[in-house]
Amino acid sequence: MQVPLWLALIVVGYLGVKLIRPPAWLVAVLLLGGFLLADSVLAPAIDSFIK
């Protein structure tokens, strides 16, 4: 069974927020920070570090 990545991320995110109950500001900072880093000059460095 193949699941789209966006669906898997939504499910994991929902379960994480539901079970762990992180503060809303922490969720917002992680989402905004990830979005901003993905479009920055650091993106190639992060990509090579992850791989």
- Give 21's DSSP letter: -
Using pLDDT thresholds of 50, 70 and 90, give the confidence band for residue 18: very high
pLDDT (0 to 100) of residue 21: 93
pLDDT (0 to 100) of residue 34: 86
Number of Cα atoms under 13 Å in the Cβ half of residue 48: 4
Percent of the residues in the chain that have a pLDDT greater than 90, as a whole number: 35
Using pLDDT thresholds of 50, 70 and 90, give the confidence band for residue 51: confident
Q: Cβ distance 27 to 17 under 8 Å? A: yes
Among 31, 29, 36, CA closest to 9: 31
pTM for this entry: 0.63
Q: Which long-range contacts (CB under 8 A, 24 or more apart) does 8-14 make?
A: none
